[in-house]
A and B are shown apart, each in its own frame.
Chain A
Amino acid sequence: MNLLTIDKLTAGYGKLTILHDLSLKVEKGQYLGILGPNGSGKSTLVKSIFGLTDIFSGSIKISGQELVGVATENICKRGLAYVPQRQNIFATMTVRDNLLLAVRHLRRPKAHRALQDAYALFPILAERQQQSAGLMSGGERQMLAIALAWLGKPQIMLLDEPSAGLSPLFVIEIFKLLRRLCESGITLVVVEQNARSLLRWCDYAYVLREGKLAFEGSSSQILADEETVKSYLGVGGTAFSQRIAE
């Protein structure tokens, strides 16, 4: 069954149209990748789901319910969570206050338990509790950002380049963590530029190019059919296809 369905979405910023007539679907329990070169509209796509862009036409449905027109602050109630590409933590607040914000709807004992669960899943955060979140390393910040989204107990999590700018060790750590989250029953939509590392972990992927769908298929299909990907991405030898070929 489709959990999230995007149908003929055209969206952008102000008068600028970035996404053109984009359709895609996410099945329950799927680990979906969104790939594409710089500026292809990957972030715009996930932002649109959270009402952070201007949507000109099309529909976005979660379990059959329309999301277009729902205010950003009410989207998390529909079982979605989103980890933005940049500025995805409250940098001036302590790690603990970040987490407490995410569990504020729960009663005391439940909130406490949720926090303990988060510390179990993200041990580094337990060590950094009292630290100002903005003073953490890139990898630690990313952990916190994922924890913030995870604490909302979402059915589906959207992550925008969770591995960007991290050391190779941390990248693997993040992808392992995401795999675990997926196995625990959360549907994942992960945006990546680094196609090779994502395709190793996800089930299915969409490739965007200039705001349009260029290609879709299971990870193995995409990895195998390198020629197709290259041709869809055009511009012989882009960094993207090189990265796939590596």
Chain B
Amino acid sequence: MPTVLLIDSLVRSLQVGSLYALMALGLTLTLAVVKLPNFAHAELITLGAYVALVASFWGLNNLLAMLVLCFIVTAAVAVLSYKAVYKPLERRKPSIYTMILASFALGLILRYVLFLLVDRFDFFDKRIKIPLEIWYQSKTMILTNIFFWVVPTSLILIILLSLLLNYTNLGREMRALADNRALARVQGVQVERVYYFTWILAGGLAGVAGALWGIYTSINPLTGWLAILSVFAATVLGGMTSFVGTILGAYVVGLSENFVMQLLNHYLGLDFSFKPAIPFIIIILVLLFRPQGLTGFMDGFRTRAIRRQTNP
């Protein structure tokens, strides 16, 4: 296989994997803390992309300002959807299926509102207006300014989020709620307040990821919905509620969809139209053979290491 193609698919894997990680972390956060598999997460991603698009058409071309704007708007929509839909529902002590259906419904409503608006203002398949520049070029690789925005921004946000989760009181409260809700309440964790922060983080990260996605490729009202399957694959691969697992899962999905796909295409002649099936295959394989995902694996190592430490 030509080195150019190989390197190009690796670069794409890294780029897409980073975006999946941002999207999946928000999804895992709501899943772990609020205990809701939020299918409307997809529409928050789309919304983020469109906020960036509209802002760029209005002449905003500072990327940082654009990302901050996206974070604020999608975080606000996430908080609103909690206040308007999930919280009133929760008071009726619904089953998880009710909540999943509600999130589906909310997602559909948001999606078709977006369709209407996009149609009305003719924003189908547009790209965010950020001038494309080549920042690095060699015989085998071309890296644009977009690469240098997408990957480091994602990594910085992932690092900030893990610092927040691991080293702040809010982070410990979130993890405590994820781990054992009743005990967290006994310990005085204010559930409502932590939920709001969770929705802000999950929604905001989805918006930023959507904006970066929109910079990297063209967008339409289905953008988030198409990405969310890969994002769910990353979450499932990460063991559903583990943050480290989710990040790893995101890069594995990114690699499978790009690097592995490239290999399959080159050596087995598999058509690229097969790509959307890859996340489904990952989900099914993981659920069949390793429902605990990647983390069980790592916990296993850790347990063994500790056992070795404690009884030498």
Contacts and interface: CB of A to CB of B under 8 A. Distances in A.
Q: Do A and B bind each other?
A: yes
Interface of A: 50, 52, 71-77, 81-82, 84, 87-93, 97, 100-102, 104-105, 131-132, 135, 148, 152
Contacts of B306: 131-132, 135
A84 B183 CA distance: 8
B180 A73 contact: no
Contacts of B191: 73
A102 B188 CA distance: 9
Contact of B187 (A76, A97, A135): A76
Contacts of B188: 73-77, 105, 152
B179 A90 contact: yes
Nearest to B191: A73
A87 B187 CA distance: 13
Given A101-B172, A104-B169, A92 B179 contact: yes
A52 B175 contact: no
A139 to B, nearest CB: 14
A50 B188 CA distance: 11
A102 B186 contact: no
B266 interface: no
Contact of B172 (A89, A97, A131): A97
B303 A87 contact: no
18 contacts: A72-B185, A72-B186, A73-B184, A76-B186, A76-B188, A77-B188, A84-B182, A88-B183, A90-B175, A90-B176, A92-B179, A93-B179, A97-B172, A101-B173, A101-B187, A102-B187, A132-B299, A152-B188
Contacts of B180: 87, 89-91
Contact of A93 (B176, B182, B186, B299): B176
Contacts of B173: 101, 104
Contact of B302 (A52, A88, A104, A132): A132
A93 B172 contact: yes
Nearest to B175: A93
A66 to B, nearest CB: 19
Chain B interface category by residue count:
20 to 34
Nearest to A97: B172
A84 B176 CA distance: 15
B175 A73 contact: no
B190 interface: yes
A164 B109 CA distance: 52
B229 interface: no
Nearest to A104: B169
Nearest to A80: B186
Contacts of A81: 186
Main SS class of interface, B: helix
A90 B183 contact: yes
Nearest to B242: A92
A21 to B, nearest CB: 26
The 8 A-B residue pairs whose C-beta atoms are closest, nearest first, are: A72-B185, A104-B169, A76-B188, A73-B185, A90-B179, A101-B172, A92-B179, A82-B186
B189 interface: yes
Interface string B246-277: 00000000000000000000000000000000
Contact of B182 (A52, A92, A132): A52
A132 B310 CA distance: 13
Interface string B101-114: 00000000000000
Interface in B132-174: 169, 172-173
A100 B172 contact: yes
B106 to A, nearest CB: 27
Contacts of A74: 188
A73 B189 contact: yes
A167 B303 CA distance: 23
Contacts of B178: 92
B186 A101 contact: no
Given A84-B182, A92-B179, A93-B179, A152 B187 contact: yes
Contact of A91 (B169, B179, B303): B179
Nearest to A145: B183
Contacts of B175: 90, 92-93, 97
A12 B107 CA distance: 38
Contacts of B187: 76, 101-102, 148, 152
